């Protein structure tokens, strides 16, 4: 897909969805990112609320046991591993980063349970950086629009999206995530009711 077509699609989606991007506290965004891997949004938000209510800062989290955190975040996917990662991450935040969530990708990637997507989520939603976190929705849409190849890893898709989308990445990211949840779903897209069907190059439409 070329830049012009992508811009037309973005304009159309922008009229449909009223997206606002607000900055959120870094520690909340970080915990959300760690919990969200292979977990539905509703489950992630509920677990995030419970665990942050119990401990809203790294030093406070270290006072909780792994068992307690497991109970609070259940039933997120891999809740046992994630509870350990939360504790290890909080320990590192306290010991190495003065209790603050770091602001660079390199430092964020040192934290247990934090990979490409979560580090970008923190940079985007906590620190307002112009980056696109590639989640499953973004990956699926990028492949259907032939922006990315079928075998591309998230970090490759990210670079390809960055080349096509130089500005306003926060809003565009949110538009595409919402569009992926509502219409361009996985595994079967709702092409028959898609507002950008005429602009979409996908060869295997579900019409
Ligand atoms: S036509 Fe189908 S594949 Fe293309 S954007 Fe719409 S839902 Fe996705």
Task: Give yes or no for residue 176 CB within 6 A of ligand 1.
Answer: no
Task: Give yes or no for residue 197 CB within 6 A of ligand 1.
Answer: yes
pTM, 2 dp: 0.88
Give the pLDDT confidence score for residue 21 in this predicted structure.
84
Q: What spacing in Å lies between the alpha carbon of 190 and ligand 1's midpoint?
A: 7
Work out the widest C-alpha separation in the chain, in whole angstroms.
Answer: 55
The model's pLDDT over 165-185, given as tens digits with 9 standing for 90+, comes to 998 899 999 999 999 999 999
Ligand 1 test: best mutation among 197, 206, 207, most atoms within 8 Å of CB?
197
The HSE-up count of residue 148 (CA atoms within 13 Å, CB side) is 23
Q: What ligand 1 atom has the least distance to the C-alpha of 194?
A: 6
Give the pLDDT confidence score for residue 7 in this predicted structure.
94
Q: What spacing in Å lies between the alpha carbon of 54 and ligand 1's midpoint?
A: 42
Q: Cite the active site residues.
A: 117, 135
Q: What spacing in Å lies between the alpha carbon of 191 and ligand 1's midpoint?
A: 5
Instruction: Write out the residue limits of the CATH 1.10.340.30 domain(s) in the chain.
Output: 26-125
Give the pLDDT confidence score for residue 63 in this predicted structure.
97
Task: Give me the residues of the chain with pLDDT under 70, please.
Answer: none
Residue nearest to atom 2 of ligand 1 (CA): 191
Instruction: Write out the residue limits of the CATH 1.10.1670.10 domain(s) in the chain.
Output: 3-19+133-199
- For residue 197, give the 3-state DSSP assignment: helix
Give the pLDDT confidence score for residue 127 in this predicted structure.
96
Give the pLDDT confidence score for residue 39 in this predicted structure.
87
Closest CA to 141 of 182, 166, 177: 177
Ligand 1 test: best mutation among 145, 191, 206, most atoms within 8 Å of CB?
191
Separation CA 133–CA 33 (nearest Å): 11
CA dihedral of residues 73, 77, 83, 84 (deg, nearest 10): 180
Domain 26-125 class? mainly alpha
Q: What spacing in Å lies between the alpha carbon of 185 and ligand 1's midpoint?
A: 8
Closest CA to 31 of 109, 89, 117: 89
Domain made up of 3-19+133-199: CATH architecture: Orthogonal Bundle (1.10)
The model's pLDDT over 68-93, given as tens digits with 9 standing for 90+, comes to 999 999 999 999 999 999 999 999 99
């Amino acid at each position: 897909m070329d830049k012009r077509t992508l811009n037309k699609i973005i304009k159309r989606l922008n009229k449909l969805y009223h997206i606002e991007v607000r900055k959120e506290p870094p520690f909340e965004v970080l915990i959300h990112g760690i919990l969200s891997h292979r977990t539905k949004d509703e489950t992630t938000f509920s677990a995030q609320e419970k665990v942050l209510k119990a401990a809203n800062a790294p030093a406070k989290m270290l006072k909780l046991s792994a068992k307690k955190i497991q109970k609070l975040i259940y039933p997120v996917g891999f809740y046992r591993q994630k509870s350990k990662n939360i504790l290890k991450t909080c320990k590192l935040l306290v010991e190495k980063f003065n209790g603050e969530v770091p602001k660079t990708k390199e430092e964020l990637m040192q934290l247990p349970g934090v990979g490409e997507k979560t580090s970008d989520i923190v940079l985007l939603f906590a620190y307002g950086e112009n980056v696109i976190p590639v989640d499953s929705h973004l990956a699926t849409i990028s492949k259907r629009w032939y922006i990315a190849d079928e075998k591309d890893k998230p970090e490759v898709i990210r670079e390809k999206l960055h080349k096509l989308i130089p500005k306003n990445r926060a809003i565009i990211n949110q538009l595409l995530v919402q569009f992926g949840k509502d219409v361009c779903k996985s595994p079967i897209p709702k092409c028959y009711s898609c507002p950008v069907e005429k602009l979409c190059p996908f060869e295997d439409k579900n019409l």
